[in-house]
């Protein structure tokens, strides 16, 4: 396992070699996601050093490319999966079934069917957040390892759309959780754990909410544990990363200490499941300038990446640093970096100071390793980008670029 200092400096966009990124853009085309697997390993080592007594898993939804899944499995992490597709990806990447938890929200019937089929050959753990979901698994003959997701009534996160701990669709209400655990055990399920998650992007500013969630889960574990032999309590782990240049790194050892203190003594193993923290600063998005248009309001810098390539700015008002990979000594301008999608929301960055770009030059968008490629789409019939993974500095194509023929590959060959 890679060894890292507890709190090394965060990786900023300026730490990437501009010449190397330009070379990758020239060789693989744009838009292009670049993932540095060495940085993924460093982040994993830092989390495991801080949470050295806890079970650490990877929240797969942050980035499901096989390169990342295999790398984090090699670093000793299990996989927390939000869909049947993520379970399949984890298995395909070599993660053993007994290190995979399926933690879905309102899972569709076909997902449940697929997971039950997989469970026959792999010792998966299934997490349910509603009595109806428990019924759905029981109806299919599943009686294996089961975890109950609890809604503790406490939420935190960088945006209202990713705060989960107090949102009603996530988990069984706190006061009803013991009853569902009792019911599951009475019906023959192997009840092994409890789960809760406050939200995504948790920072020092909202650590109090995280502590409260953990404390409530500790109380619940001690209460439920008198009648059931629980193996673990997973309290999530949506740890924040500094997207803005002025933001400092999260103090992981302090978070770990606060988590342990809040949980208290319980005869059960505590677990965390970061996602973004492992991969965000390990990725950048490269995009080519397609047009530079001065307007009375701003200079619009058109690029070939847009909200179909990176939706976080449009969906969450998220900030991503933007860097011109050239232009040294040029006049600096205030620019709005906009994509090719026919939507006003298709803006990657507004009012950013950049050396004046020219058509054909390359910009880099930082902290793009988490929820970047994962949330790409084909809206406006745009093919999805390629992904290149750096391993020891050597590039390997991890995901091929879609071409236009892929956009209609799933359509039925009918005459309309």
Pairing mode, if any, of strands 232-234 and 299-303?
unpaired
Q: Which residues contact 140 (CB under 8 A, 6 or more apart)?
A: 112, 113, 116
Provide the Cα torsion 205, 208, 210, 215; round to 10°: 170
Q: 406: which 2 tokens?
A: 């892929």
Closest CA to 362 of 21, 20, 12: 21
Q: How far is CA 270 from CA 72, 220, 264, 366, in A?
A: 19, 13, 10, 32
Q: Which residues contact 175 (CB under 8 A, 6 or more apart)?
A: none
Asked if 163 and 138 count as a contact pair (C-beta separation under 8 A), the reply is: no
Provide the Cα torsion 93, 94, 98, 99; round to 10°: -60
Q: Does residue 265 sit in helix, strand or coil? A: coil
Please identify which of the residues 81, 147, 342, 412 carries the catalytic annotation.
342
Asked if 81 and 59 count as a contact pair (C-beta separation under 8 A), the reply is: no
- Please identify which residue in the block is written with the tokens 């009840």: 191
Asked if 336 and 374 count as a contact pair (C-beta separation under 8 A), the reply is: no
| Residue 412 annotated in active site | no
How many angstroms separate the CA atoms of 113 and 303, rounded? 42
Closest CA to 163 of 196, 199, 197: 199
Closest CA to 102 of 228, 200, 192: 192
Closest CA to 339 of 368, 301, 373, 313: 301
| Cα 307 from chain centroid (whole Å) | 18
Task: Give me the numbers of helices (H) and strands (E) for the chain, helices first please.
Answer: 11, 18
Q: Which residues are catalytic?
A: 342
């Amino acid at each position: 396992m890679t060894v890292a200092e507890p709190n090394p400096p965060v990786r900023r966009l300026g730490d990437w070699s501009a010449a190397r990124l330009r070379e990758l853009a020239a060789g693989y085309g744009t838009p292009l996601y670049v993932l540095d697997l060495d940085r993924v390993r460093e982040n994993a080592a830092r989390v495991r050093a801080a949470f050295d007594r806890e079970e650490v898993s990877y929240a797969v939804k942050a980035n499901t490319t096989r390169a990342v899944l295999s790398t984090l499995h090699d670093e000793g992490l299990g996989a927390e999966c939000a869909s049947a597709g993520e379970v399949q990806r984890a298995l395909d990447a070599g993660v053993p079934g007994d290190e995979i938890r399926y933690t879905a929200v309102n899972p569709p019937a076909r997902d449940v069917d697929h997971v039950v089929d997989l469970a026959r050959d792999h010792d998966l753990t299934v997490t349910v957040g509603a009595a109806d979901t428990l019924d759905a698994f029981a109806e299919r003959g599943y009686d294996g390892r089961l975890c109950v997701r609890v809604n503790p009534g406490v939420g935190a996160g960088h945006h209202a759309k990713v705060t989960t701990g107090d949102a009603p669709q996530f988990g069984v209400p706190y006061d009803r959780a013991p009853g569902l655990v009792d019911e599951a055990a009475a019906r023959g399920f192997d009840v092994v754990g409890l789960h809760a998650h406050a939200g995504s992007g948790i920072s020092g500013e909202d650590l109090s909410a995280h502590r409260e969630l953990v404390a409530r889960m500790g109380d619940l574990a001690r209460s439920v544990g008198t009648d059931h032999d629980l193996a673990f309590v997973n309290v999530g782990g949506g740890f924040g990363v500094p997207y803005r240049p002025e933001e400092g790194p999260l103090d992981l050892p302090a978070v770990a200490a606060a988590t342990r203190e809040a949980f208290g003594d319980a005869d059960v193993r505590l677990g965390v499941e970061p996602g973004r923290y492992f991969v965000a600063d390990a990725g950048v998005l490269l995009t080519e300038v397609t047009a530079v248009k001065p307007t009375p309001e701003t200079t619009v810098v058109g690029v070939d990446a847009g909200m179909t390539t990176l939706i976080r700015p449009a969906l969450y008002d998220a900030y991503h640093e933007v860097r011109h990979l050239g232009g040294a000594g040029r006049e600096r301008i205030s620019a709005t970096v906009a994509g090719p999608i026919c939507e006003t929301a298709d803006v990657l960055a507004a009012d950013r100071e950049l050396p004046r770009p020219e058509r054909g030059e390359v910009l880099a968008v930082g902290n793009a390793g988490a929820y970047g490629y994962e949330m790409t789409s084909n809206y406006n019939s745009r093919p999805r980008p390629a992904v290149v993974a750096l391993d020891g500095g050597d590039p390997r194509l991890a995901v091929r670029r879609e071409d236009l023929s892929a956009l209609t590959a799933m359509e039925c060959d009918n005459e309309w």
